[in-house]
């Protein structure tokens, strides 16, 4: 199963990098234990994430995210069966919008006026796939 969601970020700039590192480390550990794979996109104001795996494991993972105080106003954008995983190489990978990949984010319509939270699932999947191909 593949699940795609977007949320508003409650991270503050002061500790943003360390908190993102902590989020990824925890996700990688839990996802590896539960055979969940995925990709997290982050901007200063929002998150979007693709989760893949067995339906029960993905649902359990999403359940933890729903109650995580670092996320606000979660939007479940897609939840569908898949034949094969698109992000099978990572228990969780991260691409944060920064000066090195801002152009790629903008090619997919992500801007201060239209952040990750405002994008449809197919755009987020395409963006994650593009960025994943660049970090392999």
> What CA–CA distance (Å, rounded) separates 51 from 65?
11
In the predicted structure, residue 136 carries a pLDDT above the cut 90: no
What does the pLDDT look like over 41-82, one tens digit per residue? 999 999 999 999 999 999 999 999 999 999 999 999 999 999
pLDDT of residue 42: 94
- Is residue 74 within 8 Å of 7, Cβ to Cβ? yes
Tell me the pTM: 0.93
Alpha-carbon dihedral sign for residues 93, 97, 99, 101: positive
CATH topology (fold) of 2-135: Alpha-Beta Plaits (3.30.70)
> What CA–CA distance (Å, rounded) separates 35 from 1?
12
Beginning with the edge strand found earlier in the chain, give each strand of the sheet holding 37-42 in spatial order: 71-80, 2-9, 46-52, 37-42, 93-96
> What CA–CA distance (Å, rounded) separates 34 from 46?
25
**DSSP state string for 41-59:** EE-SSEEEEEEES-HHHHH
Mean pLDDT of 5-14: 92
């Amino acid at each position: 199963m593949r699940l795609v969601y977007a949320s508003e970020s409650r991270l503050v700039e002061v500790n943003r990098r360390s908190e993102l590192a902590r989020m990824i480390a925890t996700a990688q550990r839990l996802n590896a234990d539960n055979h969940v794979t995925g990709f997290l996109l982050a901007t200063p104001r929002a998150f979007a994430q693709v989760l893949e795996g067995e339906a029960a494991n993905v649902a359990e993972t999403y359940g933890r995210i729903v109650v995580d105080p670092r996320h606000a106003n979660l939007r479940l954008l897609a939840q569908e069966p898949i034949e094969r995983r698109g992000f099978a190489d990572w228990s969780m990978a991260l691409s944060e919008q920064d000066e090195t990949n801002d152009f790629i984010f903008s090619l997919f319509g992500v801007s201060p006026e239209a952040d990750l939270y405002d994008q449809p699932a197919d755009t987020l999947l395409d963006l994650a796939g593009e960025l994943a191909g660049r970090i392999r």
